[in-house]
Amino acid sequence: MTPESIANAIAAVVASIGTLAGFASRRRRWRNEIRENLSLIEEINNNSLLKEHTPAIAWLTGKIAVDVAKLSGQPLGTPKKPIPWSNVFFSSIFGMGFGYWTYALNENEFVWYSVFPGTVAVLMLISLLGSFVNREIPPGSDGDIPDGAHPVNTGEASEEISRTIALQALGQGDRYADDGQIGVAYRFIKLMKEGQFDEAIQSADANWILCRIQSWLWNNRGVFENDLDRLSTLASEMLHARSDHDLWAQFSSAEVASFAEAWQHLNPETLGGASRRRRVARDHELVVLAPVGDSGGYFVNSATIVPGALTFLMRRNEGRWLLASHLTAAPPTPGLPPAWWVVGDPSIEDLED
């Protein structure tokens, strides 16, 4: 074994050890930085100015979450299209074939017609390179983002984690919880789309249910005799008896069919909730759900028309958020017929002056 080969082997070992040491030191640096940031959060909590008037805690918690993900080996990055291996195979075979043909034609001296197989070889090489580059899937590629909106998810997983943690740290994430305003509205839509009417109305206010019953009875008043006192009594009985009432099955079937027709093109899995809180009364808030596709959400800097957006009025009753209206920013008013505060309601327009 020559001294040169021994030196090369030693250099390779030293380089490997150096790489491992660098990786270990980087992991150690991440751990120390995480500990320091956690301690810094405690100090910021004691500083009323930073805590109440700046999103400093949100920034730090987002950074800690990303650092922990890196430390634990959680993959972060933009989703990519799979490599088209069939294209790689054929491009390689044809590229090598035409490349060798070009070489063979010019082995002794250059011939002009070798340009043609050479061009094919170059094109195959370009196609081969294209199979491995620019495979990132852009957010919002399905065109569901309205004009004037900007995607929140820029494709960086670290930014997405930071954004989610920041919402929670700022206290906005509670609205997206299962029992929060947005979570309850989303659950109502999903259950109603699935035809689970009795389960869906568990998330609805009693006033809303009463008005739905009154609307159904009013639209079918010819069947129940056009007696307002009788209809009012019947509505009260159905509200309290629910599924035990003889007419409940007919009513729930009609409601499921009505919502299925109105929301036939709606996919609950593509809906996102507007982050800005919209309070309209002490215990009433508006929730806006809009299609976001695969964009991960978007934000707007000015007034923007959002196609397909749904507005729900939510009411807090005894600590629970319930659906108060699915049409307008005001709860419906019971009556025969009830007032849904929607312009063009045929039941209202047909009433005598």
Q: What is the pLDDT of residues 158-211, one digit of tens each?
A: 455 445 555 554 445 578 788 899 999 999 999 999 999 999 999 999 999 999
Q: How far is CA 25 from CA 1, 29, 158, in A?
A: 35, 6, 22
Fill in the amino acid letter for 4: E
Q: How far is CA 142 from the centre of its chain?
A: 14
Distance (Å, rounded) from C-alpha 126 to C-alpha 120?
A: 10
Mean pLDDT check: name the lowest of 48-52, 218-222, 301-305: 301-305
Q: How far is CA 64 from CA 33, 72, 165, 169, 340, in A?
A: 9, 12, 9, 12, 48
Per the CB < 8 A criterion, the answer to whether 124 and 91 are in contact is yes
Per the CB < 8 A criterion, the answer to whether 295 and 287 are in contact is no
Q: The tokens of 125 are what?
A: 């090489």
With 50 as the cut, is the pLDDT of residue 10 above it? Answer: yes
CB neighbour list of residue 159: distance below 8 Å, 6 or more residues apart: 153
With 70 as the cut, is the pLDDT of residue 18 above it? Answer: no
Q: What is the pLDDT of residue 236?
A: 95
Q: Which residue in 325, 326, 323 sits closest to 179, CA to CA?
A: 323
Q: How far is CA 23 from the centre of its chain?
A: 35
CB neighbour list of residue 116: distance below 8 Å, 6 or more residues apart: none
SS3 of residue 203 by DSSP: helix
- For residue 264, give the DSSP letter: T
Higher pLDDT, 86 or 207: 207
Alpha helices, H only, the chain: 3-45, 48-53, 56-71, 85-105, 115-130, 157-169, 181-193, 197-200, 206-219, 228-241, 248-262, 346-349
Section 312-338 average pLDDT? 94
Is the pTM of the predicted complex or chain greater than 0.75? no
SS3 of residue 323 by DSSP: strand
Higher pLDDT, 130 or 155: 130
Share of the chain above pLDDT 90, in %: 30
Q: What is the pLDDT of residue 293?
A: 61
Share of the chain above pLDDT 70, in %: 74
With 90 as the cut, is the pLDDT of residue 286 above it? Answer: yes
**Which band of pLDDT confidence, cut at 50, 70 and 90, is reported for residue 7?**
low
